Structure 1
């Protein structure tokens, strides 16, 4: 799944879209992978999976990243991500 990380946010939030990507706002700064690690933890929490089930596929140094989620069926991941992208429509 594609995500867009917004480092330096006032609070951690997972929801909304940037193009087709899920927006993940984190308080951590984009220094030494801190924002990426915080984003992975935030996604795991939002999807209800353990942090070890969220893996970075591409984008280690970019705000645009692709992550893979294990521990859930693909249809369930899609359903949960859709709810996060449009909370009003869920």
Structure 2
């Protein structure tokens, strides 16, 4: 499955809520309306899964990963990211 194009969400200051599933069979992003689910193969230890989520999300948004800031959910499955200018 191709990574969905989320560039329509890539507005500075926008908040993006995602649901993360670690230890998935493969890395992928699914979008169902406003719901965004990110599946990563990484185990949720020491922020490794979150780092992979940032990589996948930045690629789908078409922005550098340095512009994504984790606002909420550092250790939770539900995370909120802000797009910095």
Could you list the runs of 4 or more consecutive aligned residues of structure 1 that deviate by over 2 angstroms after TM superposition? Answer: none
Any gaps of 5 or more consecutive residues in structure 1?
Answer: 72-90
Aligned to 1:23: 37
Map 1:2-81; keep pairs closer than 5 Å.
Answer: 2-17=17-32, 20-71=34-85
TM-score by length of 2: 0.74
Any gaps of 5 or more consecutive residues in structure 2?
Answer: 1-15
Structure having greater relative contact order (Cα 8 Å, sep ≥ 6): 2
More helix by share: 1
RMSD (Å) for aligned C-alpha atoms: 1.7
Q: May I ask how many residue pairs the two structures share in their alignment?
A: 70
TM-score by length of 1: 0.70
Q: Secondary structure at the match of 1:40?
A: helix
